[in-house]
């Protein structure tokens, strides 16, 4: 599967028309437990955001449904007015019920309303990148609006100047192809050394020269604990010892080596973990490391 894996890493890559540092930050972990409700320590959450930007992060991933209505507010409170060059990527197409379950809400009218909510909460006139979050994988039994109609609605908002760029999230190969044809500049799907099911989509991104932004890059905090699983893996640990790196750092370095337009958004509410994740750029895996890491047993977390 690693036929085209690169062993060199560059510090930046393109996200549509922007050039960003390849190690960004995912803000989902800043909400309360299970991404539901406010965090116990909002000041810590804001300190993490400020530390990320002060350390050179110029790509932050968020969503109105983180909380919901919590994480975007934390980002605005911590970082507005935003520094020049900071790319805020958000997503639309989903909702939360009163118990925190993730539900599809992707009718064109929903998408337009969610774009307006994001504009208001982030306090921007135009959203840099809006990912259309599909639910075809989480809820294959639930009918979703036609992807073409959803993309057309987002492109209308782009024409109106409310969105700069669009992307696609949680879609399968066919959906990603449709989204690319409609102008998507990147794909945000689950992908990690533990979950390589979307290898074909990474290759599709390579063919089109667009970004792949893996979520759950450490294998996810949900359903089995990716970081713990990584820390227990003998192959990951062997490579870690060689590079004086933690298991999480090896997993992130593997992603950087997988594709030159792989942009990382590891999530953490810890400044120590954030620093650890940002330091991954120093690690260059060689062919022997990558062959060893091919042995890591795949694991797909429960949703
Ligand atoms: N499009 C979508 O549907 C979708 C879905 C999920 C996530 N996302 C986005 O993707 C981002 C990344 O996903 P994620 O945050 O769920 O998954 P992840 O990065 O795979 O895992 C996050 C977990 O790893 C821990 N962690 C982070 N850095 C660590 C380190 N250096 N050592 C040990 N543990 C570490 C975090 O805990 P601590 O807080 O203790 O560090 C947290 O429990 C999210 O923040 C979100 O922006 C998008």
Q: What is the mean pLDDT of each run of 10 residues along the chain (303 residues)?
A: 46 98 98 97 98 98 98 98 98 97 97 98 98 94 94 98 98 98 98 96 98 95 79 97 98 98 98 98 97 92 58
The span from the CA of 238 to the CA of 245, in Å, is 10
Q: What is the pLDDT of residue 10?
A: 79
Which pLDDT value is given to residue 5?
41
**Selected catalytic residue, list 25, 66, 82, 259:** 66
User: How many Å is the maximal CA-CA distance in the chain?
Assistant: 53
Name 225's Cβ contacts closer than 8 Å, sequence gap at least 6.
219
Q: Which atom of ligand 1 is nearest to the CA of 249?
A: 31
Domain membership of residue 266 (yes or no) is: yes
**Residue 203 falls within a domain, yes or no?**
yes
Cβ–ligand 1 distance for 170 under 6 Å, the answer yes
Q: Give the nearest ligand 1 atom to 62 CA.
A: 47
Q: Determine the distance from the C-alpha atom of residue 85 to the mean position of all C-alpha atoms in its chain, rounded to a whole number.
A: 18
Determine, yes or no, domain membership for 6. no
What SS3 state is found at 159? Answer: helix
Contact (CB, 8 A) for 96 and 102: yes
Range of the structural domain that residue 62 is part of: 12-293
Residue in 215, 240, 274 to alter for ligand 1 test, most ligand atoms within 8 A of Cβ: 215
Is 2 among the domain residues? no
**271 lies in a domain?**
yes
Q: How far is the CA of 25 from the centre of ligand 1 (A)?
A: 9
Q: Whose CA is nearest to atom 26 of ligand 1?
A: 268
Which residues, in sequence order, are CB contacts of 208 under 8 Å at separation 6+? 180
Query: Residue 78 maps to which CATH number?
Result: 3.20.20.100
- The count of other CB atoms within 10 Å of the CB of residue 260 is 15
Instruction: Choose which residue among 40, 72, 268, 301 to substitute to test ligand 1 binding: the one with the highest number of ligand atoms within 8 A of its C-beta.
Output: 268
Residue 249: both structure tokens together: 């750092």
Give the total number of structural domains in the chain: 1
Q: What pLDDT does residue 9 have? A: 63
| Nearest one of 183, 139, 181 to 165, comparing CA atoms | 183
Look at residue 1 in the predicted model and tell me its pLDDT. Answer: 34
Residue in the structure block whose two tokens are 């991404």: 35
> Are the CB atoms for 269 and 29 separated by under 8 Å?
yes
pLDDT of residue 4: 37
**298 domain-assigned:** no
Does 66 qualify as catalytic in the annotation? Answer: yes
Q: How far is CA 84 from CA 25, 52, 57, 63, 79, in A?
A: 17, 15, 12, 21, 11
Q: Is the CB of 186 under 6 A from ligand 1?
A: no
Look at residue 302 in the predicted model and tell me its pLDDT.
59
Q: How many residues in the chain?
A: 303
Atom of ligand 1 nearest to the CA of 231: 33
C-alpha–C-alpha distance, residues 49 and 83, integer Å: 12
Q: Report phi then psi at 21, rounded to 5.
A: -65, 140
Q: For ligand 1, pick from 166, 216, 264 the residue to mutate: most ligand atoms within 8 Å of CB.
A: 216
d(CA 215, CA 226): 12
Residue whose token pair is 């350390």: 55
User: Does some domain include residue 7?
Assistant: no
Instruction: Examine residue 5 and state whether it is found in any structural domain, yes or no.
Output: no
């Amino acid at each position: 599967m690693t036929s085209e894996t690169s062993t060199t890493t560059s510090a930046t890559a393109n996200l549509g028309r922007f050039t960003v540092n390849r190690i960004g930050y995912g803000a989902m972990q800043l909400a309360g437990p299970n991404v539901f409700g406010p965090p116990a320590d909002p000041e810590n959450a804001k300190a993490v955001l400020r530390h990320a930007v002060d350390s050179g992060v110029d790509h932050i991933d968020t969503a109105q449904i983180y909380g919901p209505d919590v994480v975007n507010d934390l980002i605005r409170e911590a970082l507005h007015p935003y520094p020049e060059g900071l790319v805020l990527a958000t997503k639309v197409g989903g909702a939360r019920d009163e118990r925190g379950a993730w539900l599809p809400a992707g009718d064109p009218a929903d998408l337009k309303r969610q774009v307006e909510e994001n504009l208001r909460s982030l306090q921007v006139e135009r959203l840099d990148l809006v990912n259309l979050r599909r639910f075809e994988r989480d809820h294959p039994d639930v009918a979703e609006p036609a992807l073409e109609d959803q993309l057309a609605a987002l492109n209308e908002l782009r024409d109106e100047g409310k969105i700069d760029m669009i992307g696609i999230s949680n879609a399968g190969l066919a959906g990603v192809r449709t989204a690319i044809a409609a102008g998507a500049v990147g794909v945000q799907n689950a992908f990690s050394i533990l979950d390589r099911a979307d290898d074909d989509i990474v290759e599709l991104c390579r063919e089109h020269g667009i970004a792949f932004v893996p979520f759950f890059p450490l294998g996810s905090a949900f359903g089995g604990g990716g970081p713990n699983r990584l820390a227990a893996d003998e192959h990951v640990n062997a490579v870690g010892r060689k590079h004086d790196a933690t298991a999480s750092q090896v997993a992130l370095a593997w992603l950087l080596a997988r594709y030159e337009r792989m942009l990382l958004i590891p999530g953490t509410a810890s400044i120590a973990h954030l620093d650890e994740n940002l330091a991954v750029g120093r690690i260059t895996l060689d062919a022997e490391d990558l062959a060893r890491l091919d042995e890591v047993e795949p694991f797909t977390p429960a949703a």
